[in-house]
Structure 1
Amino acid sequence: MTETHESYGQLMLVFGAVALLAIPLRSALRKVALPALIAFIALGLALSAADESLEFMTRDLRDQTGVLAQLGLVALLFRVGLESDPDRLAGQLRRAVVIWLPNMAVPAALAFALIWAWPGLGPIPALLTAIAASATSIGISTAPWEEAGALQSDDGALMLDVAELDDLSAAILLGIVFAVVPNLHEGNGTMGQAAWAGAVQIAKITLFSAACYAFSRLVEPRLSAIFADLDPRTGPFVFAAGTVFLIAATADALGFSMAIGAIFAGLAFSRDPAERQIDDAFASILALFSPFFFLSIGLSVEFDRFGATLSLAAALFVALVAGKALGAGLPAWAVSGRRTGQIIGASMVPRAEIFLIVMAHGLSMGAWAVPSELYTASVLAAVATCIAGPLVVAQLLGRTRP
C-alpha cells in the first residue's frame, strides 16, 4: 500500500510540474513562432537521459504517465476532427486532391526508399515510416497562418483542406497497416494472410466510418440537445467528452488506433451548433493533457546509441522536407502560382501527432517494426520539421520574428 501511495505521489509531482510549466513554455515559444511540443519532447528526452543513470522513473510512474499521454492523444486528435469542416472540404475537394495525392505519395516514397536502403533496417520499418511521413501536423501548420491573419484567405483555406486530408488519410492508413504488418513479419504469415487482414480491416473501418456518420446525423444532435437542456453550461461539453472516449475505445477494441476513433469523433461533433462551446471547453483538457503525449515521446527515446542515430535523423529530416516541398509545393505552384506553392509546401513540412503516433506504436510492436535507432531518429527529425516549417512559413507570410 505504501508503494502505491508513493507512486501516486510521484505522479502528482510530475503532473503538477508539467501543468505549471506548460503555459510559460507555450508563451515563450510562441514569441519565436515555435510550437510548444518541442519543449515537452525535449523535457522527455532530458528525463530519459537522466533516468539512464539515476533510475528514478519507476515502471508504475512510466505506466501512469502513459495513461496521461493517451488522454492527451485523444484530446489532440479529437480537436483535429472537431475543427475540420466536412462540408467545406467536400466543396474544395477537386482542387485540394490535386495537391493532396502527391503531397502524400512523394514523402512516403522518399521515406520508404531511405529507410529500406539504410543498413540494418528493412521493408517493414520502411513501410511504417512511409505512412508516418505522408501526414502533416495541422495544428502546427496553421499556427503561423493564424498569427499572420491569413488563415481565412484563399491560400489559407487551400492549405487547411490539404492538411485535413493528410491527417484523415494517414490515420486511416495507420489502421490498415497495423493490421497487415504482423502478417508480413517473418514467420507470422503469408502475403495472402496479410491481404486478407488488410481487407478485413478496410471493411471494419468502412463500417466504423458509416456508423460515425450516422451518429453525427441522427443521434448526436438529439442527445446533445438533451444534455444542453439538462445543463446548458456544461452539458454539451460533458456529452462530447464522454462520447469521444467511448468512440476512441471502440476503435481500439476493433483493432484500429484510438487516433482514428478520436478524429472521427471530432468529425461527428464538427456539425454541432455548439461546436465552438465544445471546442473552447476542450481547450482546457488539451492544455492539461497534451503535454504528456509529447513528454512520453521523449521518454521513449533510449540513449544507448544516440550518437549513431544523428546521421539517420539528418537524412530522414531531408527526406521529410523534400517530400512535402516537392509533393505539395510543386502541385500548389501549378494550381495557384509560385508563391502559393512555396508557402503550402513549407506549411506541410511539420510532422507531429500522426507521425509520432505511428512510430511510437511501431516501437511498441518490437524492433522488427521500428528499431529504437529509427524511433530516436524519427523523434529528432520530427522536432526539426516543427522548427523549420513554421519559421519558413512565417517569413513567407511576411511575419518577422521579434
Structure 2
Amino acid sequence: MVELFSIPFFTFDAARSVPILATASESADSSMVLASVLLSLVVVYLASKIGGELCARINLPPVLGELVGGVVVGVSALQLLVFPGEGIAAENSLIIKFVELTTTLTPLGASAVFETQSEVISVLSELGVIILLFEIGLESKLDELIRVGPQAVVVAIVGVVAPFAAGTLGLVYLFHLPIVPSIFAGAALTATSIGITAKVLAEIGKLSSTEGQIIIGAAVLDDVLGIIVLAVVASLAKTGEVQVINIVYLIISAGTFLVGSILLGRYVIKPIYENLVGEMKTRGELLLTALVVVFILSYIATAIQLESILGAFAAGLILAETSQRSKLEKQVIPVADLLVPVFFVEVGARTNLGVLNPMNPTNREGLVIAAFLIVVAIVGKVITGFTVFGQQGDLKKLAIGVGMIPRGEVGLVFAGVGAESGVLSSSTEAAIIMMVISTTFLAPPLLRIVFRDPEPTASETSEAGG
C-alpha cells in the first residue's frame, strides 16, 4: 500500500521499496498503465459528478454524492475501481478486464498494470487531499481565528476532547480494539464540517445570529485542532505504537510547525510571494508560485514526521493574507475540481460495506461499532452547546450543539488517511464512513428543527389579541 502523503511521483511501495515510475517502466507496459489510468479517471469523474448532482438536487452536500459514487463503483458494488489487498487482484477489476478485451494486454501482464494503475490513482488522491487542505486554509481568515470569542474556544475544545476521549476509550475497553486504530477512529469523531453548517445557517437566516457566530467560530477552530490531531494520529499510525514521549513530541512539533510557519509566512513568505508574483510576466505565475509554497511546506511537515496536509493548511493560511487571495481562490478551483474528487471517490471505492451486512454473523461487531460511533459523534457535539457561558437571554444552546454535528468532508479526510495508512480494519473503516454519512445527513434537518420558533400557546395568543 502506498504510504500516504509521500512526495508526488516519488512515492514508494513499502512492501517492494520500488518507486512507482520504476515499477511502471520495469514491470508493466507503460501504455497499458496509461490506458487503465485514463479509464479509471473516467470512472472517477462520472461517479463524482453523478453522485454530486443527485445530492445537490436534494439539498445535501455534493461531497456526500462523491463518496456514495465511489462506493457504487468500488469494491462494494460494481468493482470498476478497486485496489490491491484483502483478496483483491487484477481479475477483480472490471477496468483491467476491459483493457484486456480492447487492447493487447495479456492476463500475465495484467497484475503489474493493475498494481501500478492503483498506485498512480492513490498518488493523485494524495495530491487531491493536499489541495483540499490548502483550499480550507485559503478560505480561513487568520485574524478571525485569533479574534473568535472565548465561547467559541470552549465549544471547539469540548467538541474535540469529548468525542475523541469517549470514542477512543469506548473502542478500547468495550470493543477491545487495538489502541492505535481506536485512537484513529476517536480522532475521526473530532471533525466539524463548517461548509455544511454554514450553508444551512445561511438558508434559515441564522448565520449572523449569536448562535450562528459561535458555531462558525468553533467550527473553524475545530478544523485547526482536528488537523493537528490528524497529523499526530497519522504519525502514530506509521510507528504502530503509542508512546507518551512520541505523542508529546508530535503535539509540540505540530503546534510549533503551524505557528512557526504562519509567523514565517507573514513576515517572510508573504512579501516575497507578492513581490515575486508582481515581477513575473508569464502565464500561471500566481497559481504555480502558490503551489511551490504549498509543496515546500508539505515537504517540511513530512520531513519532521508530521503529515503533508498540515503544511498545505499552513500554506493556505499564509497566502490567505496576501492581496492576491481572491484571484488565487478562483485559480485554485479548477485544480481542486480536477484532483479532490479523486480523493473522495477513492475513499468510497475502498470502503467495503459488505463488512456491515447484518446477515453475516461475523459482521455484527462492525455494525455495533458503527452504531456506537454515531451515538458518540452526536452526543459528543450536542453537549458542547451547554458549555457556553456568559450569554444572557434566550440563547439556543441546543442549536449550537446540533450545529457542530456534521462531519462532512473533514471526517472523510480522517477515514481516507486511516484507510491509506493501513491502520484501520475493513469493519472499522466502514463504521467511520457510516458515522460520517449519518451525521452529515442528520444535521441539516435537525438544525432547522432546533432553530424553529415555538408555536405560541393559547394564553399567549389571547394576550396578544387582548
User: TM-score range with shorter-chain normalisation?
Assistant: 0.7 to 0.9
1:224: how far off? 2.4
- Comparing both chains, which one has the higher relative contact order based on Cα–Cα distances under 8 Å and sequence gaps of 6 or more? 1
Q: Partners in 2 of 1:5 and 1:339 — Cα distance? A: 63
Match of 1:208 in 2: 257
Match of 1:158, as an amino acid?
I
Q: Gaps (5+ residues) in structure 2?
A: 1-24, 80-87, 96-113, 358-362, 453-466
1:312 corresponds, among 357, 365, 369, to 369
Distance 1:380 1:269, change over 3 A: same
Q: Partners in 2 of 1:274 and 1:24 — Cα distance? A: 33
Which deviates more, 17-26 or 345-354?
Answer: 17-26
1:258: how far off? 1.8
1:260: how far off? 1.0
Q: Gaps (5+ residues) in structure 1?
A: 186-190
| Aligned residues of 2:347 and 2:415 also touching (Cα < 8 A) | no
Match of 2:137 in 1: 81
1:99 corresponds, among 155, 159, 164, to 155
1:77-121 residue CA offsets vs partner (Å, 9 max, x unmatched): 111111111212212242311212211122122212331234351
What root-mean-square deviation, in Å, do the aligned CA atoms of Structure 1 and Structure 2 show?
A: 2.9
Q: Partners in 2 of 1:163 and 1:148 — Cα distance? A: 18
- Where is the helix percentage greater, Structure 1 or Structure 2? 1
2:298 corresponds, among 248, 264, 274, to 248
1:379: how far off? 0.9
Match of 2:35 in 1: 9
1:154: how far off? 4.0
Matched, 1:55 2:93: yes
| Aligned residues of 2:145 and 2:217 also touching (Cα < 8 A) | yes
Larger radius of gyration: 2
1:273 corresponds, among 323, 339, 342, to 323
Match of 1:217, as an amino acid?
Y
| Aligned residues of 2:48 and 2:67 also touching (Cα < 8 A) | no
Residue correspondence of structure 1 range 297-336 to structure 2 within 5 A: 297-302=347-352, 305-307=355-357, 308=363, 309-326=366-383, 328-332=384-388, 335=391
SS of the aligned residue for 2:75 comes to: helix
1:319-365 residue CA offsets vs partner (Å, 9 max, x unmatched): 11111111x22224874766642333222112244433334433444
1:203: how far off? 4.3
2:407 corresponds, among 351, 355, 360, to 351
1:45 corresponds, among 65, 71, 76, to 71
| Aligned residues of 1:108 and 1:130 also touching (Cα < 8 A) | yes
Distance 1:360 1:31, change over 3 A: closer
Distance 1:146 1:60, change over 3 A: farther
Q: Partners in 1 of 2:37 and 2:409 — Cα distance? A: 24
Distance 1:16 1:228, change over 3 A: farther
Aligned structure 1 segments of 4 or more residues deviating by more than 6 angstroms = none
1:31: how far off? 3.0
Q: Partners in 2 of 1:150 and 1:235 — Cα distance? A: 40
Q: Partners in 1 of 2:119 and 2:389 — Cα distance? A: 47
Match of 1:362, as an amino acid?
G
Q: Percent identity?
A: 22
Q: Partners in 2 of 1:215 and 1:85 — Cα distance? A: 14
| Aligned residues of 2:47 and 2:69 also touching (Cα < 8 A) | no
Q: Taking structure 2 as the reference length, what is the TM-score of the superposition?
A: 0.75
Match of 2:244 in 1: 195
Distance 1:329 1:76, change over 3 A: same
